Amino acid sequence: MIGQQELQQDIFNSIIENTFSHAILLVGDEGYGVLPLALEISKFLVCKNSTEKGFCRECNSCKKAAKFIHPDIHFAFPAVSIKDKKRKSVTSVDFLPDWREQLLESAYFDLDAWVNRIATSSGRPDINVTECNQITQQLNLQSFEGGAKVQLIWMAELLGGNGNKLLKLIEEPPANTYIILMAKSDEFILNTIISRCRVIKLGRISDDDIDANLMTKYQISPEESKQISFIAEGDWLSATRYVEYNNDELLNYAAGLIGVSRRGDIIEIRDWVDQFANLDTSSKRAIVSLTNKLLKELLHLKVMGPAMMRLGNRAYELLKGYQLVGTMTVEQIEIISKILSDTDYLISRNINTKVLMYNSCLEIESVFNPSVIVQ
């Protein structure tokens, strides 16, 4: 697990002191470690030799939990349609081998990555009524190994109204039973569920933790690691994407988003949008986030000069090439930053990318040229 050590220790202490809630809701971006933290908690709960230092990693329970095959740790997550089976009958059980495979690779992933792994056809992923009924049934059974039972529900916002089926269970679970829900945001979770849980919101991972783990995992230079840590803004998933993607290409896209929008050449904008639309969702969001970082660097330039740019000389030369250095006002930067934040959110909601980005480019152009009319 990357960072979050203080929070993890507080939770472990509450379990030892018997003050841990039977139902918790972990809220935060996937890259902050919501799922990894839930997995660590579940391992601690089933370990036969847990201490304030953590779970032992040596007992049979720990060994099973490490392989995600412990019979008393149950998983629920968004599922999709599969061939020759009615959607209402499809549950997490149908995808458990894929789930274990994903967790063994990395517990840092988002819904897009998960759906890309399991989807064989189109359809909205969700956690259906059948899944909720299965959760209730399995948690009312006796523990297989005589200890705690733990139910993890990943992407709980996709329960929707089906979450009503779990209200009684969450409020009054069987003895020694724990329910850990995870969500990127509690905005789409029923208030009746939220009120029955202890809500724990994860903050960003420290730049130092990301920096150290990047150098260990990817053997990159300290300079590159610090730049990526700065861009990632405490999100380990974002940090790994910046390493795995071509960083120069991402910078080209990011600077180009502002540069071509400012120039206002419709053909140039269209070509940029067409190329952008062919990227995967993760790349698109990484580019929009990086563009916002470039805007912050422009503010930094006004005060400290190019020598202090945390994104390096390559970013400075790109911004200079698009004539963005020293030409944008603070107000323009703030307005465009808001446009980009809204754009990132809409990309995450799977809005048509071509229409969205074309409109966003026109909105950005209108910041430089108020006579531009945005539909």
Q: 77 is written with which tokens?
A: 């997550």
CB 74 within 8 A of CB 152: yes
Give the mean model confidence (pLDDT) for residues 103-129.
88
Q: Where would I find the beta strands (DSSP E) of 158-262?
A: 177-183, 198-201
Q: How far apart are the first and last CA of the chain?
A: 45
Would you call 263 exposed, middle or buried from its count of C-beta atoms within 10 A (0-12, 13-18, 19+)?
Answer: middle
pLDDT at 37 over 90: yes
Could you report the per-residue pLDDT of 221-238, keeping only the tens digit for each? Answer: 888 888 888 888 899 998
138 versus 303: the higher-pLDDT residue is: 138
Binning pLDDT at 50, 70 and 90, where does residue 329 land? confident
CB 36 within 8 A of CB 239: no
pLDDT of residue 230: 83
Q: Please give the CATH number for the structural domain made up of 5-201.
A: 3.40.50.300
d(C-alpha 291, C-alpha 287), whole Å: 6
Three-state DSSP state, 179: strand
Mean pLDDT score of the chain, rounded to an integer?
90
Three-state DSSP state, 151: strand
Three-state DSSP state, 280: coil
Give Cα 314 distance to the centre of its chain.
28
pLDDT at 375 over 60: no
Specify the pairing of strand 149-153 against strand 73-76.
parallel
Q: 132 is written with which tokens?
A: 């909720």
Per-domain residue ranges for the chain? 5-201, 245-368
What does pTM read for this prediction? Answer: 0.84
Q: Residue 111, Cβ neighbours under 10 Å: how many?
A: 19
- Structure letter (DSSP) for residue 173: P
Could you report the per-residue pLDDT of 90-113, keeping only the tens digit for each? Answer: 999 999 999 999 999 999 999 988
Specify the pairing of strand 177-183 against strand 198-201.
unpaired
Phi and psi of 322, rounded to 5°?
-90, 10
Q: Could you tell me which of 83, 80, 152, 85 has the C-alpha nearest to residue 116?
A: 80
pLDDT at 208 over 80: yes
In CATH, what is the architecture of 245-368?
Answer: Up-down Bundle (1.20)
As a whole-number percent, the residues of the chain with pLDDT over 70 amount to: 94
Angle at 217 between CA 102 and CA 318, to 5 degrees: 105
pLDDT of residue 307: 57
